[in-house]
């Protein structure tokens, strides 16, 4: 089963439930599990609506602590209480916008596991790092610094230069990085590819060895596109 996860980022209002409803109305895709990660404001209502269905609901980030004096933050326990099953941590936009380091990402991933949820931990190189031939070294360093010692974990390989740009690595570049991550993490850890996944390239990317699913940004906002991507899992 491939995991097809939608990262809505800072998009979505109450009316966006129409997209969730369209996912719920469609038959469960063959060979794929669906996860939608809307903004924190929508997690509870989406999880309630999707309860018992083939669609899971997740968070996009959390604080590493369970509760306390951290104005504006949301904990993994709160997202669990709202019905989330997974939480994305260490997305490159969080690393860039909020200065999150590997050490912070590791604490967050531990917090997710403490709350009984599955972290989706993102790693990926910048274009400068790829151009200088440092990709595998960067990924190894990020994994070394941010992977916690937890039972259930998903890794998302997201080249920073492929996010929201319409550019994707070649399938052999994806294969190289996913093989390196798989060798390091061992069996049982799912590895998603993320970065400009679209209906037109999903089947090809999902067919790459060690690609166990996709983390989809822009194309996850429309149910029709998200379902078309998930259909690529069966191809």
Task: Report the distance separating Cα 21 and Cα 23, nearest Å.
Answer: 5
Burial pattern 10-25, b for ≥16 Cβ within 10 A else e, equals eebeeebbebbeebbe
Rg, the chain, Cα only:
16
91 catalytic per annotation = yes
Question: What character string, x for contact with ligand PGA (CB under 6 A) and - otherwise, covers 165-204?
Answer: -----------------------------xxxx-------
- DSSP structural state of residue 221: S
Question: What character string, x for contact with ligand PGA (CB under 6 A) and - otherwise, covers 28-47?
Answer: --------------------
**DSSP string of 30-86, one letter each residue:** TTEEEEEE--HHHHHHHHHHHTTSSEEEEES--BSSSSSS-TT--BHHHHHHHT-SE
To ligand PGA, the closest distance from the beta carbon of 217 in angstroms equals 2
To ligand PGA, the closest distance from the beta carbon of 155 in angstroms equals 13
The yes or no reply on residue 60 touching ligand PGA (CB under 6 A) is: no
Residue nearest to ligand PGA (CB): 217
Nearer to ligand PGA, 77 or 129 (CB): 129
158 catalytic per annotation = yes
Q: Please identify which of the residues 63, 129, 158, 178 carries the catalytic annotation.
A: 158
Name which of 76, 58, 55 is nearest 67 in CA terms.
76
Task: Report the distance separating Cα 134 and Cα 96, nearest Å.
Answer: 19
Q: Please identify which of the residues 19, 33, 77, 91 carries the catalytic annotation.
A: 91
> Which of 2, 7, 78, 161 contacts ligand PGA by CB under 6 A?
7
Neighbours of 83 (CB within 10 A): 18
The yes or no reply on residue 216 touching ligand PGA (CB under 6 A) is: yes
Backbone phi, psi, residue 66, to 5° = -80, -35
Contact range with ligand PGA by CB under 6 A, out of 36-44, 135-143, 157-165, 226-234: 157-165
The yes or no reply on residue 124 touching ligand PGA (CB under 6 A) is: no
The yes or no reply on residue 215 touching ligand PGA (CB under 6 A) is: yes
Give the residues lining the site for ligand PGA (CB under 6 A).
7, 158, 163-164, 194-197, 215-219
Query: Active-site positions?
Result: 91, 158
């Amino acid at each position: 089963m491939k995991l097809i996860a939608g990262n809505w980022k800072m998009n979505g209002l109450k009316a966006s439930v129409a997209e969730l409803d369209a996912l719920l109305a469609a038959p469960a895709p063959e060979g794929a599990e669906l996860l939608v990660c809307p903004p924190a404001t929508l997690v509870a209502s989406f999880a309630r609506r999707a309860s018992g269905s083939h669609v899971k609901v997740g968070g996009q980030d959390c604080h590493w602590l369970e509760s306390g004096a951290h104005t504006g933050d949301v904990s993994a326990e709160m997202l669990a209480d709202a019905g989330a099953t997974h939480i994305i941590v260490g997305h490159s936009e969080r690393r860039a916008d909020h200065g999150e380091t590997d050490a912070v990402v590791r604490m967050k991933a531990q917090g997710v596991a403490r709350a009984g949820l599955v972290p989706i931990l993102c790693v990926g190189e910048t274009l400068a790092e790829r151009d200088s031939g440092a990709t595998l070294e960067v990924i190894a360093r990020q994994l070394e610094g941010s992977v916690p010692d937890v039972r259930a974990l998903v890794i998302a390989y997201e080249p920073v230069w492929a996010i929201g740009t319409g550019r994707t690595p070649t399938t052999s570049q994806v294969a190289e990085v996913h093989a390196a991550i798989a060798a390091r993490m061992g069996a049982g850890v799912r590895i998603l590819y993320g970065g400009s996944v679209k209906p037109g390239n999903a089947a090809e990317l999902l067919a790459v060895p060690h690609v166990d699913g996709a983390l989809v940004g822009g194309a996850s906002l429309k149910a029709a596109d998200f379902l078309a991507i998930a259909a690529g899992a069966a191809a």
